[in-house]
């Protein structure tokens, strides 16, 4: 899916996903952080530099693991995604490093991937959210080109 001539931020996409108690992981990230701290330096989680955070993500076979509130907080600060891969699983046990590194996301409930903030791949296990809400259809309706 591509945005209609504009960037689609992770923060634009997350409201289409109902609140949940899944385990989320950022598997790849290369982006521009937008909200400056008090000293004027843009800062990803825990006040680390963008490059340190990207290195932290790359160093872990399961990526940067967090809950839904943490992902939403992080997304607010990510202005552009040069490359971003985010997955959700029912529990941390479903984030198996060897499988994720082999790009096997079969245990994941949701898969989000961005290239250059404008091209997104959104996939979700059917029925993942319950209640008939379809994340893929919601994203397509919101962001698909006419």
> For residue 21, what pLDDT is reported?
96
93-123 pLDDT tens trace = 999 999 999 999 999 999 999 998 778 899 9
50-107 pLDDT tens trace = 888 899 999 999 999 999 999 998 898 888 888 999 999 999 999 999 999 999 999 9
> For residue 37, what pLDDT is reported?
54
User: Could you tell me the residue ranges of all domains in the chain?
Assistant: 10-37+61-82+89-143
Nearest to 1 by CA among 123, 98, 124: 123
Give dist(CA 21, CA 145) in Å, integer.
Answer: 31
């Amino acid at each position: 899916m591509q945005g209609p001539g504009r960037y689609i931020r992770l923060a634009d996409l997350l409201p289409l996903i109902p609140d949940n108690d899944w385990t989320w992981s950022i598997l790849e990230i290369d982006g521009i952080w937008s909200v400056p701290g008090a000293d004027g330096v843009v800062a990803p989680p825990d006040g680390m530099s963008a490059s340190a955070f990207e290195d932290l993500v790359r160093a872990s076979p399961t990526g940067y693991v967090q809950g839904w509130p943490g992902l939403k907080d992080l997304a607010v600060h990510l202005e552009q995604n040069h490359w971003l891969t985010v997955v959700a699983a029912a529990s941390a046990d479903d984030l198996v490093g060897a499988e994720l590194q082999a790009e096997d996301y079969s245990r994941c409930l949701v898969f989000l991937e961005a290239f250059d903030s404008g091209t997104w791949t959104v996939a979700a296990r059917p029925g993942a959210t319950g209640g008939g809400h379809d994340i893929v259809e919601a994203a397509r309706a919101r962001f698909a080109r006419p």
